[in-house]
Amino acid sequence: QVQLKESGPGLVQASETLSLTCTVSGFSLTSYHVSWVRQPPGKGLEWMGRIRSGGSTDYNSALKSRLSISRDTSKSQVLLKMNSLQTEDTAIYYCTRSGLGANYFDYWGQGVMVTVSS
Amino acid sequence: EIVLTQSPITMAASPGEKVTITCRASSSVSYMYWYQQKSGASSKLWIYDTSKLASGVPDRFSGSGSGTSYSLTISSVETEDAATYYCQQWSSTLTFGSGTKLEIK
């Protein structure tokens, strides 16, 4: 069955770089798009960016200067890197799947909590 | 960026009541999508393409709307419907509404 699982450090120091991994199973990264969505504690959802099935990327303009999304298809992994972290980046980070031509997320990972410490 | 404004922000309903959650867009969008998020869990696709129910969603839920005004309706709310509901658009850069928390009395 379709699964997405996020992994990464739970605690990161301010000004450092966050690296997260989304490991997928049950589908191919070359057939679906994968996005990252985050949710600060007690707040709403924010789309960060995506890597398309063909390997190109799209980013939220508010994060574009700090964010990089890549993938390793041989490992079925999508990688997120975001630099210059601030305490406001404290959030649960989710990876999500969307189908070709589908403008919504049909599967979500369980999420990983990241705390940015000053 | 298209801003989605949901109302109400929070609401409480008794079992059996009809509930409507509204999502208004700052510019016209082609479709609206809805997610359900229960406390401590990730979100689940609930309604796609404005009015289509995702797999496993009870038919007491429905979605409607066009242009800048969309809604999610529960015809007869049940205790298991307690959750936060988010709308989402992707006509331009993807954005989410701020959420509507539904509590059951």
Listed in sequence order, the residues at least 6 apart from A22 whose beta carbon sits closer than 8 Å to its beta carbon are A4, A5, A6, A7, A34, A36, A77, A78, A79, A80, A95, A109
**Nearest one of B46, B47, B36, B32 to B99, comparing CA atoms:** B36
- Which residues of A fall within a CB distance of 8 Å from B88? 45, 104
pLDDT at B92: 82
Percent of residues, chain A, with pLDDT higher than 70: 100
Q: Which of residues 50-79 of A touch B (CB under 8 A)?
A: 60-61
Q: A110 vs chain B: nearest CA distance in angstroms?
A: 6
Task: Closest CB to B94: pick one of A47, A109, A110.
Answer: A47
Predicted pLDDT of residue B84 = 98
Is residue A109 within 8 angstroms of chain B, CB to CB? yes
Percent of chain A topping pLDDT 90: 97
Instruction: Please tell me which of the candidates A35, A60, A106 has its beta carbon nearest to residue B45.
Output: A106
Contact B93 A60 (CB under 8 A): yes
Distance from CA of B4 to the nearest CA of A (A): 12
Cis peptide before B8 (omega within 30 of 0): yes
Reported as a single tens digit per residue, the pLDDT across B27-54 is: 999 999 999 999 999 999 999 999 999 9
User: Given A44, A106, A110, which is nearest B96 (Cβ)?
Assistant: A44
Region class of A101: left (phi > 0), else alpha (psi between -120 and 50), else beta: left
Task: Indicate if the pLDDT at residue A101 is higher than 90.
Answer: no
- Alpha carbon of B95: minimum distance to chain A alpha carbons (Å): 7
Residue ranges for chain B with pLDDT beneath 50: none
Query: Per-residue pLDDT tens for A20-73?
Result: 999 999 999 999 999 999 999 999 999 999 999 999 999 999 999 999 999 999
Answer yes or no: do B96 and A45 touch at CB < 8 A: yes
Chain B CB within 8 Å of residue A47 CB: yes
Interface A:B, Cβ pairs < 8 A: 48
Contacts of A91 in chain B (CB under 8 A): none
